[in-house]
Structure 1
């Protein structure tokens, strides 16, 4: 999905300077990271046959059944002096299947077939047993294992199993051929998707949730917590087995069926991939795998993330690159994912990992001594590999620092991502709702935060993701309406001032973020209909309760409740974007930010957008500047009674532009703009007028 800039560009990593002359003083840093990336590509071309072959190591490492039904197992463990494959198949006998080591620290053994059948049965438990340099005996789950299960009756115990089903999954549907229009992402977690107090399944998500996403009009679903993690409450961000998908929700075949069905529905599927760090668990993770602390990680303090209490990868290490790049290729090839949301990119970009660091926007912060060049280069290599092998794949960076060039192609000297998350936008909304009276909202700051993004580096805007829903915070809907959501969301009860305000602002906040905030849009599961409360996983602190770890679909399905209005408005937004394509359009032109009237007006994608955030004032005959002459009709209005509005706007009326300058635009229209209302208009063609 990465785009390029037309014209001749230097091939030394400074092509991005043509877009942003302020980068020129940092040409040396750009050249250094680009040269390091190209040196890796040259080395891999010479030693491995290129990035593609290098990133297919999942076909070599781990356990693989051969045509004669023998099974070969390979594992990188340079710190071990002895190794053997153990499991149920050999009664856990460390002498039965010893492994041999090559000069590069790679261990291998072959388990012959027995009577023509695999000696290791499908779904049987296995481990690798090793003797460390300190003569310690250790057992580990294979690093490249594709299936890990949990025995919760044993506190719990995590088991690696040889996953080799007799019938491989047959894919039925092709993925959509890239994006149709702007990127509209539905962020979801399979486990919380059940309305019941338990962990949801891949099958339930496929049957019950995917149709909802498609009906709303999103074109991508982003799945969280898929990579196996021992601690459920980590939200999937403490990964223990990188090539295993979480067994809590079902089998690999069931996940494939989920993705296959998403493709049938026209949805892309992104994996929330965690390569910024790894869980510190030893017995069921990568930490101290071969008895050393530096097999895939930095040794000593540099290898530990103090805030996350996790291990940090050494991105300059040959085998670490092989492991991580192969992990990406594996999910694209084996599971047909269509791209990735890279978690914790800020931590990967800087040696300080963003800890205790405020980013002021000074370019020196992004190209100085604090930058982890190896981490940057890893992401350049990852994006280069992904986009060359899968041209339609999408990569999204979760970066709070705002590093320039993050979302420009590697060929220009960029890091290669397609999009970055606009992390300042949800922070702004939560801060406003928590700390500022409606009358004191700053229209200028609101517009600035929504539009403050780098030219030609695409951004995914959002009001709230999973971060804002976690315990300690609340959903936007709950910040707006709080306890009244329990008693006053029924159509059978009077519309109270709190609920009226909450519904109105919920719609407006989402629409202006969607329209003004970026080149993509993201919503977290359930928030489209105003999911109440917060998200809290079962843990010791809440008596292992699932009460807040579920999605209450019954709220939106109950036609007597007002949640349906928010859901309907969300659907209208997504469908309108699909029709007019504002996310794929240039940034908006804002003609009005009136602090006293609390009115914002802008033009984008051939539409005229008007927002009145004033809590009490409605305006008659209000002049709205526009650059387009002719007549206008309303295409969306948050005051429409279909969305629990007050029906104060005649949706069938047309407006004629007066050819006089207003607010820096060459025309204006006059209209009634009710309080707490958003109105979207389109110019009519000559035939329609």
Structure 2
């Protein structure tokens, strides 16, 4: 990353909302001027009387380091000689109302570890990346036609030592090795931008450019990302451009006036979270946010973002009490400025990083979220399928004897499955705040809870869409996520939990090896119902197809009954081999198997051929047609 001097061209772009690498202009940059090493500080504070740099180098008294204002841009600048990397600093802002504010740098690259709040002079040019092969392969691939199975992680509670989360360097060894061994393709990290309160999990940010110091240094995090890439693991980062926290040292009332937030408090306030919305109508804020997205991809080689709470950005009245409802200039309730910002954000990201992942965490029914802006979309390339998630959890929490009355909950998603490029998420939000762990959502006795859990995850893995699961789900935790403790690794000492982890591992690797489960995720041609309407037995069957026409037949039984000699329609004659069964003994199941079965010329499910199967209880089974069967084993086929 190059440190550039401020120019009028840069400042013009900044005030037009088009400076997309603002982090090269603003913040604290180590430079040499007239042969002297020092630090150039640049900050946007348009409504201040004066701005000073204070720090440990001047006893936190700013009189001798008053910044110079470029009047028409509201930008202040100073070069202070002899400062070095590691020096602490803040901006002392004298407001028009004669307040004196001490603010952290919005563009700081590093910050003191909480509860301290000073910014730290930091160069990000030291690390030597070794992920060229990853970057080259990424440029060649079509992400929509590749497997994507994401392991969502909160770094502070994945594992702990001495009651502290592991460091970035420790995670580079232990977490990366674990993710590889479990067969995931990507890691998604809850936000790592600097935030004051641990239990916000990073979603209420003060330092958008400052990697949190909780787990180590920027170079150590770069090493973590590099290790992921060298081992074929993508890295997705949660990002929060919708709102920021109100802590005094942060962005709120930065120059004594609403600067980053909207001046109309009816638009600015997010009462549900106690935060403030960004004002997307200010070009300088747009430059700040779009530059921030590019910064993490440029400097830290992040592969993409899960953009948090998109619904709260595009709806002016999201989760607001009725007396706070407002309308836009057209008389409707969408946030017009936020919509324009989102489109510009995605257009710019894909201009600079065409192979980026931009995933919308969006609970609204806004259309074409993952369509390009030139086709009328918002420009993301993926959207979380919250509707599928909610329907599936509601269905699975229903006792199996009542599931026939809720059958549409497991089939409705296929009416819209190809309207967006979807990710199917079971995220951290579903296992906190009294919602219960995934295992404890499942009805039935001890055995049935595990069987139901294997069933919902195997259905997720075979349903069109990419996959995401939160850490700990692979252990079948009985308790909700406890963000102050590590996940329940001790459960692996118990047989059913150990077997369940083995199930998840083998399912993950099976998914990666079967193109029919991901090549045509976004196309109706990749899916065909065999039977969607058997609500009486709560059994569904369908085919997943890949580019080469090879297909996988999937059957899911959502009751605890075993069905013998059950007919399932198939579209081709031949022998079908069972290639995955969630009911195997090694996974903790009942061990009902099929092996190889021969299709009969007997119509079923509107198909000319059918196979006769044993359908295990609360299980998913999968079959693949075998082109030719050796004569010596023909007698073994049912």
TM-aligned CA distance change 1:247 to 1:672, over 3 Å: same
Q: Is the 8 A contact 1:298 1:312 kept in 2?
A: no
Cα drift, residue 431 of structure 1: 2.9
Counterparts of 1:259 and 1:610 in 2: how far apart (Å)?
38
Corresponding position of 1:633 = 577
TM-aligned CA distance change 1:200 to 1:469, over 3 Å: farther
Q: Is the 8 A contact 2:26 2:43 kept in 1?
A: yes
> What are the within-5 Å matches in structure 2 for residues 487-526 of structure 1?
498-516=445-463, 518-526=464-472
Q: Is the 8 A contact 2:194 2:213 kept in 1?
A: yes
Q: Is the 8 A contact 2:575 2:629 kept in 1?
A: no
TM-score of the two chains, using structure 2 as the length reference? 0.88
The reply on whether 1:213 has 2:152 as its aligned counterpart is no
> What are the within-5 Å matches in structure 2 for residues 604-619 of structure 1?
604-605=544-545, 606-615=551-560, 617-619=561-563
Aligned residue among 387, 407, 423 for 1:460: 423
The reply on whether 1:438 has 2:400 as its aligned counterpart is yes
Q: Is the 8 A contact 1:589 1:603 kept in 2?
A: yes
Counterparts of 1:684 and 1:50 in 2: how far apart (Å)?
64
Corresponding position of 2:158 = 193
Corresponding position of 2:4 = none
Aligned residue among 438, 461, 465 for 1:476: 438
Q: Is the 8 A contact 2:29 2:121 kept in 1?
A: no
TM-aligned CA distance change 1:467 to 1:232, over 3 Å: same
Cα RMSD of the aligned pairs, angstroms, is: 2.5
Corresponding position of 1:171 = 129
Q: Is the 8 A contact 2:395 2:409 kept in 1?
A: no
Cα drift, residue 248 of structure 1: 0.9
| 1:245-274 deviation line (CA, Å, top 9, x unaligned) | 111111111111110000011011011000
Counterparts of 2:95 and 2:380 in 1: how far apart (Å)?
40
| 1:113-132 deviation line (CA, Å, top 9, x unaligned) | xxxxxx22322210111110
TM-score of the two chains, using structure 1 as the length reference? 0.82
Aligned residue among 191, 194, 214 for 1:225: 191
Aligned residue among 644, 654, 661 for 2:596: 654
SS at match of 1:288: coil
TM-aligned CA distance change 1:316 to 1:421, over 3 Å: same
Aligned residue among 463, 476, 490 for 1:530: 476
Corresponding position of 2:6 = none
**Number of equivalences:** 593
TM-aligned CA distance change 1:205 to 1:647, over 3 Å: same
SS at match of 1:327: helix
The reply on whether 1:590 has 2:553 as its aligned counterpart is no
Cα drift, residue 643 of structure 1: 1.1
Corresponding position of 1:135 = 98
Corresponding position of 2:488 = 552
Counterparts of 1:437 and 1:137 in 2: how far apart (Å)?
61
Corresponding position of 1:240 = 206
SS at match of 2:451: helix
> Which stretches in structure 1 are left out of the alignment for 5+ residues?
1-43, 113-118, 358-364, 482-496, 538-545
> What are the within-5 Å matches in structure 2 for residues 338-353 of structure 1?
338-353=303-318
| 1:525-567 deviation line (CA, Å, top 9, x unaligned) | 1102212311244xxxxxxxx3xx32123433x3x53212222
| 1:477-500 deviation line (CA, Å, top 9, x unaligned) | 13338xxxxxxxxxxxxxxx7221
Counterparts of 1:314 and 1:303 in 2: how far apart (Å)?
7
Counterparts of 1:666 and 1:244 in 2: how far apart (Å)?
62
Q: Is the 8 A contact 1:471 1:535 kept in 2?
A: no
Corresponding position of 1:58 = 23
Q: Is the 8 A contact 2:183 2:508 kept in 1?
A: yes
Cα drift, residue 160 of structure 1: 1.4
SS at match of 2:354: coil
Counterparts of 2:361 and 2:282 in 1: how far apart (Å)?
23
Aligned residue among 565, 568, 574 for 2:499: 565
Counterparts of 2:49 and 2:178 in 1: how far apart (Å)?
54
The reply on whether 1:671 has 2:613 as its aligned counterpart is yes
Q: Is the 8 A contact 2:569 2:610 kept in 1?
A: yes
Cα drift, residue 223 of structure 1: 0.6
> What are the within-5 Å matches in structure 2 for residues 365-444 of structure 1?
369-434=332-397, 436-442=398-404, 444=407
Corresponding position of 1:37 = none
Q: Is the 8 A contact 1:529 1:565 kept in 2?
A: no
Aligned residue among 97, 105, 110 for 2:65: 97
SS at match of 1:370: coil
Q: Is the 8 A contact 1:52 1:389 kept in 2?
A: no
Counterparts of 1:51 and 1:520 in 2: how far apart (Å)?
37
Q: Is the 8 A contact 1:620 1:673 kept in 2?
A: yes
SS at match of 1:629: coil
Cα drift, residue 411 of structure 1: 1.9
